Amino acid sequence: MRQLLALAILGITVYGIVDCAQSDARTRRNIPLWVWVALMIVLPGLGAVIWLILSRLVAPPPVAPRHRPLAPDDDPDFLRELERRSRQTQSPPIEDEPTGDEPTDDDGPTPPDTGSGRPAGERG
């Protein structure tokens, strides 16, 4: 009979430790996990019974989930980021503009105008 009592105490203690380890902080009444486990080990059987009673006595109110948009186009943060990226990609790229002193063609320098309608190097 003693072995059966010892086995029952060991079983309820193990069950209490596993149940406590799988619970969240609200169920543990914001008491650290190590305190509950230490209580169950120091007071075998009784610690687990205390845990089982207190964790199920009054269920803490559920935490209301934050309202999140269902689709990305409903999320204002997403839309703001999208607009910022759109502005970055639409800005004109900065290029080196010709100053007027440099030739714009790849053919080389342009000969000076002689007034005859022909380039300076040609004879007519």
Average pLDDT, the chain: 78
Q: Which of 54, 35, 33 is nearest to 43 (CA)?
A: 35
Q: Tell me: pLDDT of 54 over 80.
A: yes
Q: Nearest 10 degrees: CA dihedral of 85, 89, 92, 95?
A: 120
Cα(first)–Cα(last) distance of the chain, in Å?
Answer: 131
Q: Tell me: pLDDT of 39 over 90.
A: yes
Q: Tell me: pLDDT of 102 over 60.
A: no
At residue 90, φ and ψ (nearest 5 deg) are: -85, -15
Question: What pLDDT shows up at residue 38?
Answer: 94
What's the whole-number mean pLDDT along residues 10-25?
91
| Spatial separation of the C-alpha atoms in residues 4 and 1, rounded to whole Å | 5
Q: Tell me: pLDDT of 114 over 80.
A: no
pTM of full prediction above 0.85 = no
